[in-house]
């Protein structure tokens, strides 16, 4: 599996699947989540509502992942995952690693060949970028994902790109 770094907006990526840094409601928010729903259109939200009404009536638990189609986005699927909120007093790294692992598992099940990730939890959820980058890269490298040829990390700004570049 090839790992690449891109500086840019994840909603513009042509990967088979892009990953959304969602919250457990699956009903939208700010950051990547806001951008995906805004650009992808109402179809994604409708599928998220259906997931809430069926398999996830209490919301999607932190560290898990679930897919919808991608509406008007160039990607084919959106894989929604819920990162942990950063805590200084409690180590939640396993939950952040779980987001990457679970998303890759869903992508492999869908038959995706290319997957684009944002830096999950490093925005509104406050995870320090250097540690978030280290966990992201280590987890993706160590996770077997049959059929997935390329994983790209799409970093929104130069600082995030530099942290991932250093970690890589």
In whole angstroms, how far apart are CA 20 and each of 9, 53, 156, 166?
12, 20, 13, 23
Instruction: Identify each DSSP E strand in the chain by its residue range.
Output: 2-7, 17-22, 65-69, 77-82, 114-117, 150-155
* CB-nearer residue toward ligand AR6: 32 or 65: 32
CB of 149 to ligand AR6, least distance (A): 21
State yes or no: residue 160 binds ligand AR6 (CB under 6 A): yes
Distance, in Å, from the CA atom of 31 to the CA atom of 23, rounded to the nearest integer, reads: 11
Among 56, 77, 117, 125, which residue sits at the site for ligand AR6 (rule: CB under 6 A)? 125
Residues 15, 17, 19, 21: which binds ligand AR6 (CB under 6 A)? 21
Q: Of 61, 67, 134, nearest to 103 (Cα)?
A: 67
Choice among 9, 16, 33, 157 that is catalytic: 33
Active site residue 57: no
Residue 9 lies near ligand AR6 (rule: CB under 6 A): yes
Q: Coil, strand or helix: which one is 40?
A: helix
SS3 category, 6: strand
- Token pair 């898990």 is found at 64
The answer to whether 17 contacts ligand AR6 (rule: CB under 6 A) is no
- Give the β-pairing of 2-7 and 150-155: parallel
Judged by CB under 6 A, how many residues of this single chain contact ligand AR6?
A: 24
Stretch that binds ligand AR6, among 15-23, 52-60, 103-111, 140-148 (CB under 6 A): 15-23
Write out the residues near ligand AR6 by the rule CB under 6 A. Answer: 9-11, 21-23, 29-33, 35, 83, 118-125, 154, 156, 160
Write out the catalytic residue numbers. 33
């Amino acid at each position: 599996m090839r790992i690449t770094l891109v500086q840019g907006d994840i909603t513009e990526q042509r990967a088979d699947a892009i990953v959304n840094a969602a919250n457990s409601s699956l009903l939208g928010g700010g950051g990547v989540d806001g951008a995906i729903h805004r650009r992808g259109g109402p179809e994604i939200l409708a599928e998220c509502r259906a997931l809430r009404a069926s398999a996830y009536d209490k919301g999607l638990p932190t560290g898990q992942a679930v897919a919808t189609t991608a509406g008007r986005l160039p990607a084919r699927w959106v894989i929604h995952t819920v990162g942990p909120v950063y805590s200084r007093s409690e180590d939640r790294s396993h939950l952040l690693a779980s987001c990457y692992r679970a998303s890759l598992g869903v992508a492999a099940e869908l038959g995706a060949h290319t997957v684009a990730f944002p830096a999950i939890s490093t925005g509104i959820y406050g995870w320090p970028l250097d540690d978030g980058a280290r966990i992201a890269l280590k987890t993706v490298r160590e996770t077997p994902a049959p059929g997935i040829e390329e994983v790209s990390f799409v970093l929104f700004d130069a600082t995030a790109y530099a942290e991932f570049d250093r970690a890589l």
